[in-house]
Structure 1
Amino acid sequence: MPGRPGPPDGVLAERAQDGDTAAFETLVLRHQDTVFRVALRTLGDREEAADAAQEALVTAWRRLPSLRDADRFRPWLLRIAARGALDAARARAPEHPIPEGAEVADPAAGPAGRAVGSGLRQALDHALADLPPPQRICWILREMEGLGYEEIADVVDATPTAVRGRIHRARTRLVEALEPWR
């Protein structure tokens, strides 16, 4: 990603493929928060998300030799994280609501503003939890992580057209669910 100090991801990934654990550690430090956020928003449980994020990073280390284009490390890592979180979400019992806490309410908003922000945040969390996992992960990667359609398609192993459709359906469902907040 541009603007990050140090060597680009591609250079670090190539070094890591050659056995440089410090290079991989730098990649982990650079991307662990994003991996965790994707897992948290997909799973809705901090402990499960931490486990899924850790498993994704371990899996990335083990699969690093299979990475063909080192410059594509970030989407490759996010694909591992997204698939792991989706597998965990599918494997468990009924959905847990996504917990509040990814963003903190603005204390300058005052008690009323914080209450409205908290209520809206909870409504969004519940609406996200109700989305089918493929729609949820595409929406999260687009709206919360800022990935483009091509990158998301690479992450979720779908076409950009399928990603657009999933995001459109997710947006439609979220708008309907959040209608009372308009």
Structure 2
Amino acid sequence: MDGEVVGDRTDAELLAAHVAGDADAFGELFARHRDRLWAVALRTSGDPEVAADGLQDGLVAAFRRAGSFRGDAAVTTWLHRVVVNACLDRLRSAKVRRAEPLPDDLDEAGRGSHLTATDGSDATLDPAEHGLRSERRAAVLAALQQLPAEQRAALVLVDMEGYPVAEVAVMLDCAEGTVKSRCARGRARLAVLLRPLMDEPDESEPTPVTGNPAATPDVGSLSPRGPPGEAAADPA
């Protein structure tokens, strides 16, 4: 089969080919979604090492369990579910609790998040405005790490990655109402943690409503950017 045909295969076709014994299909599928899977793993775990381990655990599990995929959801939904659950398992077993911002170099590549990958606004900012936005992203990351892992995962998937609540419920294997509840509680906690940030005037944007601890910060617009690098070895 020539390269053009291989490149045109859908996610479902690639997964089916992997199950049928195609040695290259899973690697192509992973390469197609690597950036976003890494971004979700990093923001869910809050620690690059835990994220790398969780991503690798998830990909190994997906590689081995591909035959159990029944097509009830999109392949990307299934992949995210496996990776997020692997990260949550790592967090629970290690009882990881970190509140410091991630390293600055994780915000340099401009890839990873569905929202930030399509947001070219940083390119139009002057250095001072760019620095302010970077500081705000770091503050959001630090605040996210103070949330329970399940709340953080829901917020990352809904607010930062832009997935519908129904799809996130499938990823997290819970009811839609549970996702909404986790997001609501997480946003309320972030509003308290990020109140100084929301009260801080921003000359480059319309002045936000201030002094309201119940106000919800725009987590999506401040989402950090994280390059995938070589976070996980090929499961094969």
Cα contact 1:142–1:152 (8 A) shared by 2: yes
Quick one: distance in 2 between partners of 1:126 and 1:71?
Answer: 32
| 1:72-110 deviation digits (Å, cap 9, x = unpaired) | 221111111111101111222441235144434947634
Classify the secondary structure of the residue corresponding to 1:21: coil
Cα contact 2:45–2:149 (8 A) shared by 1: no
Corresponding position of 2:228: none
1:176 aligns with 2:196: no
Cα contact 1:42–1:137 (8 A) shared by 2: yes
Read off the aligned partner of 1:54 and give its amino acid letter.
Q
Quick one: distance in 1 between partners of 2:95 and 2:13?
Answer: 41
Mark the CA change 1:94 to 1:54 in structure 2 (over 3 Å): closer, same or farther: closer
Mark the CA change 1:8 to 1:22 in structure 2 (over 3 Å): closer, same or farther: same
- Equivalent of residue 167 in structure 2, options 129, 148, 151: 151
Q: TM-score, normalised by structure 1?
A: 0.87
Q: Give the RMSD, CA atoms, in angstroms.
A: 2.1
Quick one: distance in 1 between partners of 2:87 and 2:47?
Answer: 11
Q: TM-score, normalised by structure 2?
A: 0.69
1:114 aligns with 2:114: no
Unaligned runs of 5+ in 2: 1-6, 111-121, 199-236
Superposition pairs for residues 1-182 of structure 1, below 5 Å?
6-69=8-71, 72-96=74-98, 97-99=100-102, 100-104=104-108, 106=122, 109-182=125-198
Classify the secondary structure of the residue corresponding to 1:130: coil
Quick one: distance in 2 between partners of 1:143 and 1:102?
Answer: 19
Cα contact 1:98–1:128 (8 A) shared by 2: no
Deviation at residue 176 of structure 1 after TM alignment: 2.0
Q: Aligned residue pairs: how many? A: 178
Cα contact 1:11–1:71 (8 A) shared by 2: no
Quick one: distance in 2 between partners of 1:145 and 1:120?
Answer: 18
Mark the CA change 1:42 to 1:98 in structure 2 (over 3 Å): closer, same or farther: farther
Quick one: distance in 1 between partners of 2:59 and 2:72?
Answer: 16
Quick one: distance in 2 between partners of 1:102 and 1:144?
Answer: 16
Quick one: distance in 1 between partners of 2:72 and 2:16?
Answer: 6
Unaligned runs of 5+ in 1: none
Classify the secondary structure of the residue corresponding to 1:147: coil
Quick one: distance in 1 between partners of 2:129 and 2:87?
Answer: 33
Identity percentage of aligned residues:
35
**Structure with more helix by fraction:** 1
Cα contact 1:76–1:155 (8 A) shared by 2: yes
